[in-house]
Amino acid sequence: MAELHKVAQARRARLRAALLGSAAILGLGLVTLEQPAWSQGSPPPANANVAAVPDEGYADLAAAVMPAVVNVQVESTAGPEGSARTPLDDPEMRRFFERFFGQLPEGARPQRPPRERRMQGEGSGFLISPDGYIVTNNHVAGNASKITVTLSDGSEYEATLKGADEKTDLALLKIDAGKPLPYVTFGDSSQVRPGQKVIAVGNPFGLGGTVTAGIVSAVGREIGSGPYDDFLQIDAPINRGNSGGPTFNLKGEVIGVNTAIFSPSGGSIGIGFAIASNQAKLVIDDLRDDGKVERGWLGVAIQGVDEDLAKALNLDKPQGALVSRVEENSPAQKAGLRRGDVVLDFNGKPIERVAELSRAVAAVDAGTRAEVTVWRDGKRETLRAEIGRMPAEQQVAAVTPDADEAEQPRLGVSLAPLTADTRQQLGIEQQVDGVVVTEVTPDSPAETKGIQPGDIIMSIDQKAVRDPREVAEAVRKARADGKSTVLLLIMREGQQLFEAVPLATS
């Protein structure tokens, strides 16, 4: 037995030596484990395996920022699903019957559509000032007829939409709480790096204020949502109810506005996108000033440069923004830009991708002179352009009228400038000037008179119009002069016709 005991001891010694040697090779540290007293047969104490945890994670940060994060509930209206339509619902067909038969046949008169359905939605937002300004997404509140904001203490307030920007999916709300409110500030998203820790705060699934943590996966993401894409990709779980909520760095600064997720199921799979704070701050400042965003305009159509194009253009690598079209009388044309130029720098900032040029030009105030470096005929050339103001789109369709605008006259149409692309699509000759109808509001004066998307409004009350703002001004002047209708000259499918449209109020 003594010999067996010695053999066992020797075997344990060799095994211990082998373990120590393996640990050294692998760079592992070993510690000597003392056998606990309760292993001798007595049961362990209740807290035997509980150790003090000094790190409480993100609790202090969450406690500091959550009072400024709000829940946004919205109501909106939509047309009834599955409502039956007949050929006589078409304005042209109605006029045909009325012209040749005097009146519509009995029982064939189009029925007024059923009442619109009321829809409800929910999202998140955050206070950026003590007087009640709130940032959220355009897709949360941009089309709402009623907005209710709930603060972290449970108090509710009706909110006003001060402005929204569809191109960046941002909206600005305002509540009047009658007292200073907790708020958060924007940080510098240009300093954000992949791998940086962040937390996202919002209201997913209506559960109330919720905090999730993760890291920044990437910066400068372009996901095809608009011409000014500049997203942070984060892996903190972001769900649908988080839309409009903030992403914070560890200093408690907002570095992104949560806006989109990539998910086949609708829930978070760890790929979320937040609008970079530097872009969000510029847009929100504009919305706060006058309810709309004014962007710089160069007047070019651009595309990316791939490997094949780079070779054909004698570029060292794929870079820049290739000019495919220059608008007539645009700042670009006046500066001498040409089709085939590749923009490499804008105001000293290198342009690697198309979206970078779009964002850089948009951020410049109209009237500012900018240096544009292009690649032309195998060499660099610097041009100077005076940046213009981006032409208005759908100016007649106001985002949210203020109280003093509530009784403004309207036609019930959305309008856009008549661009070269629009002319080509609709077959409009160059000598024809006007604005194009992009949308007609149901049951509006314009719809009752048969105005259609694609119509070109050439004049109002015998005065030519070339910009949506001129249309809005002409309508306001007609009401101020005591008129109840305006006379429109319309071009439709190459034919010109007059139409007298009554005025309504918003």
Question: In angstroms, rounded to a whole number, what is the distance separating the alpha carbons of residues 236 and 207?
Answer: 17
Is residue 395 over pLDDT 60? no
124, 165, 169, 455: the catalytic one is: 169
What does the pLDDT read at residue 306? 80
Lowest mean pLDDT among 123-132, 174-183, 450-459: 450-459
**What are the phi and psi torsion angles at 473 (to 5°)?**
-70, -40
> Please, which pLDDT band fits residue 26 given cuts at 50, 70 and 90?
very low
> Rounded to whole angstroms, what are the CA distances from 259 to 71, 173, 184, 247?
15, 16, 18, 10
Catalytic residue (one of 217, 243, 268, 330): 243
**Section 63-90 average pLDDT:** 70
* Greater model confidence, 150 or 294: 150
Domains of the chain listed by start with CATH number? 189-290 (2.40.10.10), 296-389 (2.30.42.10), 403-505 (2.30.42.10)
Query: What pLDDT score does 502 carry?
Result: 82
DSSP result, 175-188: ---SS------B--
- Condensed to tens digits (0 to 9), the pLDDT of residues 399-417 reads 333 334 444 567 888 888 8
Residue 83: its pLDDT value, please?
Answer: 46
pLDDT at 443 > cutoff 70? yes
Catalytic: 169? yes
99 contacts: CB under 8 Å, gap ≥ 6: none
